[in-house]
């Protein structure tokens, strides 16, 4: 009677899902490789004194936080957001204003940005999560367009030009402080932040809370009959994803010294989704790879031709056709077979 | 009839779907510890009745009282937490999650909410429940398979196992033997008999022999209304029931 499987949408391609609920642990080796590669990149960049590539690498890492927030929604909860750059942009603008006009410093900018973004995420989430499926997608898209246009038309925030002159800050850590004007220091700091976020999200997605999100992705209506309100869980995931995207966004002006409406544009939101799909949906490490790959491709191809969007589009289509489970789906299938969820069986 | 110690009391329950009364003016009570079956031809409103009781569909009139609490209009998750679990006529699992994970999810409600942010192994009660259900339903060997890849009979078993995970006091089983082989049906009947010593069962079932054999009380529905009710032998002998159900709808039996 196993033919009943064929009629079941959402069933994974394999008989057992690679890595089971421990998917992110299955990708642990892939994460280790990334860390080593990033450290080598930093060492080579430092030795060569190549500020351009170090800053580009830092930007890719910052964007990987945005990509992970999309994965949290898409890969773990089953919600596609086409407006996640709204939170990235809000974080970037909040941080820019706080750093330039209120001189809050590194930690002040990050903490206050989060405090500002949480209520926005709760309200936006309460609106978006009332809708399902394609309507959710459209609402996330619409909200991002509205907020983006409001900022675009606000002279105080620099209008279409954005804001420039964000001061270079130090990141104080107890007895020592990191000079973020130094591209190597900044790269390593963001690498550490991304590593911490990856581990923390991996932990959270394996708790009963995180796994309930997986249940919602698999069969939302059934969750109610297990005594859990899917709406609350989806809202929690949405707010968490908003906070994560805003946190990443808050690092952006510290790196580039400016913010622009482009940061919350649709193409930014779409890029984040592309990063997740290229890297591997529902893997957390995939989006980090996806971010580096997309930023790398854009830089590489725009060096050859002005029409780099066409090339990116073709590459994306080929990737979806030939590696539907993303880069990590290709490589981590074998790696994840080793790691079984004995820990909780 | 009014049960002496009703666990569930339904009064004048009704729901309309676009002018069509799916259930109307339905009153019944379920005695604690009993196996009560709801029978009737297809379209009689049996599954709609389950949807009304379990909070899947909001009633237009009447009320549902569970263990003395008026649960009419409660959201499904609150009704589940109150101790009333249901299965589904069409298998309703988490197809791309493992069998064990399906059961662990269903048992997580036994744990305080705060455990939700710790690793699953801290939720000892939920894990113990998961293991005991895997064993009781003979699913241990399939624990790590994706639920969507089980055979139909295994999926039906998992469906029932999941409803037990929350340790309900009232269990609504919607055609648990639907599509099952003869052997599996017999096993399920034995299971329901066994369960009736632990909890109250409200059953929708088309297998008339099974219903007659298992039930303490039978409610016959026809066109959204209660046609008759009583102990099995009384219902079986009722001429109105024979006309509406046994006579013309033999193919469903």
Substitution target in A5, A207, A208 with the highest count of B β-carbons within 10 Å is: A208
| A219 neighbourhood in chain B, CB within 8 Å | 92-95
Domain count, chain B: 2
User: Quick check: is B76 in a domain?
Assistant: yes
User: Is pLDDT of A281 > 90?
Assistant: yes
Average pLDDT, chain A: 88
Nearest to B116 among A16, A208, A222 (CB): A208
- Asked if residue B252 and residue B186 are part of one domain, the reply reads yes
* Residue A2 to residue B149, Cβ atoms within 8 A: yes
* Residue A10 to residue B148, Cβ atoms within 8 A: yes
| B93 neighbourhood in chain A, CB within 8 Å | 219, 222
- Asked if residue B61 and residue B1 are part of one domain, the reply reads yes
Tell me, what DSSP letter sits at residue B166?
T
Please give the average per-residue pLDDT across A66-86, as a whole number.
97
Distance from CA of B147 to the nearest CA of A (A): 9
* Residue A4 to residue B152, Cβ atoms within 8 A: yes
- Asked if residue B110 and residue B138 are part of one domain, the reply reads yes
- Asked if residue B175 and residue B161 are part of one domain, the reply reads no
DSSP secondary structure of B225-239:
EEEEEESHHHHHH-H
Per-residue model confidence (pLDDT) at position A312: 87
* Residue A10 to residue B119, Cβ atoms within 8 A: no
- Asked if residue B189 and residue B228 are part of one domain, the reply reads yes
Q: What is the percentage of chain A residues whose pLDDT exceeds 90?
A: 77
Distance from CA of A256 to the nearest CA of B (A): 36
Nearest to A11 among B54, B80, B96 (CB): B96
Q: Which of the listed residues B132, B167, B202 is the one where a domain comes to its end?
A: B167
ipTM, 2 dp: 0.91
Please give the average per-residue pLDDT across A118-131, as a whole number.
96
- Asked if residue B174 and residue B108 are part of one domain, the reply reads no
B232, burial (CB in 10 Å: exposed 0-12, middle 13-18, buried 19+): middle
Per-residue model confidence (pLDDT) at position A338: 33
User: Quick check: is A214 in a domain?
Assistant: yes
Please give the average per-residue pLDDT across A137-165, as a whole number.
95
Instruction: Give the domain CATH number at B9.
Output: 3.40.50.300
| Confidence band, pLDDT 50/70/90 cuts, at residue A328 | confident
End-to-end alpha-carbon separation of chain A, Å? Answer: 27
Closest alpha carbon within chain B to A206: B119
CA distance B131 to A345: 8
Per-residue model confidence (pLDDT) at position A10: 37
Residue ranges making up the domain that contains B121: 95-167
Q: Which of the listed residues B134, B167, B200 is the one where a domain comes to its end?
A: B167
A248 Cβ under 8 Å from any chain B Cβ: no
User: Quick check: is A158 in a domain?
Assistant: yes
Please give the average per-residue pLDDT across A298-307, as a whole number.
87
SS (H, E, C) A94-153: HHHHHHHHCCCHHHHHHHHHHHHHHHHHHHHHHHHCCCCHHHHHHHHHHHHHHHHHHHHC
| Confidence band, pLDDT 50/70/90 cuts, at residue A13 | very low
User: Quick check: is A308 in a domain?
Assistant: no
Q: Is the dihedral of CA B205, B208, B214, B217 positive or negative?
A: positive
The pLDDT tens digits of the residues spanning A195-229 come to: 999 999 999 999 999 999 999 999 999 999 999 99
Q: Which of the listed residues B114, B145, B167 is the one where a domain comes to its end?
A: B167
Per-residue model confidence (pLDDT) at position A193: 97
CA distance A326 to A246: 25
Q: pLDDT per position in chain B (253 positions), as tens?
A: 455 689 999 999 999 998 889 999 999 999 999 999 999 988 899 999 999 999 999 999 999 999 999 999 999 999 999 999 999 999 899 999 999 999 999 999 999 999 999 999 999 999 999 999 999 999 999 999 999 999 998 999 999 999 999 999 999 999 999 888 888 899 899 999 999 999 999 999 988 889 999 999 999 999 999 999 999 999 988 888 887 766 554 444 4
0.80 surpassed by pTM: yes
Per-residue model confidence (pLDDT) at position A146: 96
User: Quick check: is A83 in a domain?
Assistant: yes
What values do phi and psi take at A154, rounded to 5? -100, 110
The pLDDT tens digits of the residues spanning A310-325 come to: 888 898 999 889 888 8
| Confidence band, pLDDT 50/70/90 cuts, at residue A1 | very low
Domain count, chain A: 1
Please give the average per-residue pLDDT across A108-118, as a whole number.
98
Please give the average per-residue pLDDT across A294-302, as a whole number.
92
* Residue A5 to residue B96, Cβ atoms within 8 A: no
> Where is average pLDDT lowest: A2-6, A92-96, B1-5?
A2-6
- Asked if residue B157 and residue B180 are part of one domain, the reply reads no
Distance from CA of A104 to the nearest CA of B (A): 32
Distance from CA of A57 to the nearest CA of B (A): 33
A225 Cβ under 8 Å from any chain B Cβ: yes
- Asked if residue B157 and residue B173 are part of one domain, the reply reads no
User: Quick check: is A159 in a domain?
Assistant: yes
Alpha-helical (H) ranges within chain A are 23-26, 28-48, 51-71, 85-101, 105-128, 133-152, 183-206, 208-223, 230-256, 266-279, 285-304, 308-322, 326-338
- Asked if residue B69 and residue B184 are part of one domain, the reply reads yes
């Amino acid at each position: 009677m196993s033919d009943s499987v064929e009629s079941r949408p959402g069933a994974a391609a394999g008989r057992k899902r690679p890595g089971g609920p421990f998917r992110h642990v299955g990708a642990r080796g892939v994460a280790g490789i990334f860390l080593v590669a990033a450290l080598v990149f930093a060492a080579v960049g430092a030795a060569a004194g190549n500020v351009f590539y170090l800053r580009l690498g830092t930007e890719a890492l910052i964007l990987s936080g945005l990509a992970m927030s999309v994965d949290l929604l898409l890969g773990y909860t089953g919600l596609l957001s086409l407006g996640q750059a709204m939170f990235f942009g809000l974080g970037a603008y909040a941080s820019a204003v706080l750093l330039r006009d209120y001189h809050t410093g590194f930690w002040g900018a990050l903490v206050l940005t989060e405090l500002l973004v949480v209520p926005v995420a709760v309200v936006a989430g309460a609106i978006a999560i009332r809708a399902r499926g394609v309507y959710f997608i459209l609402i996330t898209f619409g909200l991002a367009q509205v907020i983006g246009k409001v900022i675009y038309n606000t002279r105080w925030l620099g209008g279409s030009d954005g804001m420039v002159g964000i001061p270079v800050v130090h990141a104080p850590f107890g007895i020592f402080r990191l000079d973020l004007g130094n591209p190597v220091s900044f790269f390593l700091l963001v690498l550490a932040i991304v590593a911490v976020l990856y581990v923390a999200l991996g932990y959270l997605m394996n708790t009963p809370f995180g796994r309930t999100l997986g249940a919602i992705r698999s069969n939302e209506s059934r969750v109610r009959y297990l005594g859990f309100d899917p709406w609350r869980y989806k809202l929690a995931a949405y707010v968490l994803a908003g906070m994560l995207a805003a946190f990443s966004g808050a690092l952006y002006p510290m790196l580039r010294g400016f913010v622009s409406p482009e940061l919350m544009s649709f193409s930014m939101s779409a890029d984040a989704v592309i990063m997740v799909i290229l890297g591997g949906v529902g893997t957390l490490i995939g989006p980090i790879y996806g971010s580096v790959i997309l930023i790398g491709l854009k830089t590489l191809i725009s060096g050859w031709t002005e029409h780099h969007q066409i090339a990116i589009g073709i590459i994306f289509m080929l990737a979806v056709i030939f590696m539907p489970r993303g880069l990590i789906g290709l490589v981590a299938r074998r790696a994840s077979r080793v790691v079984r969820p004995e820990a909780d069986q | 009839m009014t049960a002496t110690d009703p666990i569930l009391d339904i009064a004048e329950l009704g729901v309309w779907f676009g002018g069509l009364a799916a259930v109307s003016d339905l009153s019944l009570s379920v005695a604690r510890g009993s196996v009560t079956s709801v029978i009737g031809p297809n379209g009689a409103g049996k599954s709609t009745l389950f949807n009304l009781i379990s909070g899947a569909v909001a009633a237009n009139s009447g009320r549902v009282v569970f263990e003395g609490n008026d649960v009419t209009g409660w959201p499904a998750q609150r009704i589940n937490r109150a101790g009333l679990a249901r299965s589904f006529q069409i298998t309703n699992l988490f197809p791309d999650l493992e069998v064990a994970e399906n059961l662990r999810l269903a048992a997580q409600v036994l744990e305080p909410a705060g455990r939700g942010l710790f690793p699953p192994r801290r939720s000892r009660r939920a894990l113990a429940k998961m293991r005991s259900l895997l064993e009781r339903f003979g699913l241990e060997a399939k624990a790590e398979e994706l639920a969507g890849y089980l055979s139909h009979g295994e999926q039906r078993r998992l469906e029932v196992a999941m409803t037990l995970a929350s340790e309900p006091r009232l269990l609504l089983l919607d055609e648990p033997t639907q599509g099952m082989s003869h052997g599996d049906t017999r096993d399920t009947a034995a299971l329901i008999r066994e369960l009736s010593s632990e909890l109250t069962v409200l059953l929708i079932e088309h297998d008339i022999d099974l219903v007659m054999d298992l039930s303490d009380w039978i409610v016959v529905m026809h066109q959204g209304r209660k046609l008759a009710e009583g102990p099995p032998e009384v219902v079986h002998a009722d001429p109105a029931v024979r006309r509406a159900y046994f006579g013309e709808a033999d193919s469903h039996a």
